[in-house]
Amino acid sequence: MSILHRYLAREIFISSAFIFAALLSLFAFFDVINELGDLGKGQYHLLQALAVVALNLPGHIYQLFPIAALIGTLFALARLSAHSEFTIMRVSGLSTASLARALLQIGMVFVILTLIFGELITPKAEQMSEQLRLKATRSVMAKEFRSGMWIKDGQSFINVKEILPDTTLLGIRIFEFDPGYRLNKISYAERGVEESAGVWLLSKVTETRFEQFKAEITRHDEIKWHSVLTPDILSVLLVVPEQMSAWNLFQYVEHLRENKQKTTRYEIALWSKLAYPFATLAMMIFALPFAFMQTRSSGVSSRIFGGIMIGLAFHLLNRVFAHLGLLYDWPPLFSATFPAMAFLSAAFGMIWWLERR
């Protein structure tokens, strides 16, 4: 990397760091306000609330990477243009293509950081945050229905009344059917704890077997239950799909497919997870055309405001297309990648137009 590229990278990294600090402070402030409503529930006090807010920060960092990179690049290029440094770079032979390549090289650092936060840090931090909140407020995981969670496992349907933060299951009902979907057995267990991968230890179990003309009831203190249900699958209930790792999303999509259930929401989240780091590159390229515009009349502040508006538009477009894809059953790959591709196409169109002026 040349001296010029290193100088440009330093300016972009410093600007992006300031943007991150400002936006994270704002998000943390709103998170603290949001947590105040739960203070006093169980053992949930200010210290626990601050810990939850701190654990939510990696998720905000992950979501803000494209926006911070866009605003940071806009700010850095606007300052260079305002001080005529950008003009000197252009006169010294720096072409638009070279500048775009430099931005892509700089942007790869953001791509790697986005992948690290998205795959390693954010899912764990979000899960710890929810576990801490649920444990301190003495709550259980959210239920999808009044009767609890329903899960399909092969020829069986599983109903779990409550799931504790440590993924202990309470009030488990297992409805087992034969290939003709005739009910063979209903099992009820008061408690279930994972003993090993795919094996659960059920306590205080009542089994009701249905034969041709009678029902037979047996009771057990403890039995082992083999199931595809795992804490990784249950973690879907603890962390929203957009904050899960791509590997966990892939596993859950495969689980849903095996049980012939709808996978659109999780497929969109999976493709978004894979495409999101590269959206940072699209945002940085989108900032490039603004460097060609004069800033003396409008000032750097207008660029920052414009960057915030563009970043918000990108974020909203991502959310809208995810919901529209789910609503109209669009291909998940299209729903996940269209916003970034649209911004990248607009960036190249603007660069082409400015080059031909």
Per-residue model confidence as pLDDT tens digits over 283-307: 999 888 877 765 444 556 776 777 7
* DSSP labels, 214-253: -EEEEEEEEEEEE-S--HHHHGGGTS-GGGS-HHHHHHHH
Paired tokens of 16: 């992006």
Q: What is the CA radius of gyration of the chain?
A: 26
Report pLDDT for 185: 92
C-alpha span between 158 and 163 (Å, rounded): 13
Report pLDDT for 33: 93
* DSSP labels, 181-197: --EEEEEEEEEEEEEET
Report pLDDT for 41: 79
Longest Cα separation, the chain: 93
Task: Find the length of the chain.
Answer: 357
Share of the chain above pLDDT 70, in %: 91
Among 122, 1, 127, residue whose Cα is nearest residue 65: 122
Q: Taking the CA of residue 239 as centre, how many other CA atoms within 13 Å lie in the half-sphere pointing to its CB?
A: 29
Q: Residue 82: exposed, middle, or buried by beta-carbon count in 10 A (0-12, 13-18, 19+)? A: middle
Predicted confidence (pLDDT) at residue 131 exceeds the cutoff of 80:
no
Paired tokens of 14: 């410093």
DSSP state of 289: G
C-alpha span between 23 and 75 (Å, rounded): 15
pTM here? 0.75
C-alpha span between 194 and 172 (Å, rounded): 13
C-alpha span between 316 and 246 (Å, rounded): 22
Instruction: Answer yes or no: are the C-beta atoms of 5 and 99 closer than 8 Å.
Output: no
Instruction: Please give the average per-residue pLDDT across 28-57, as a whole number.
Output: 89
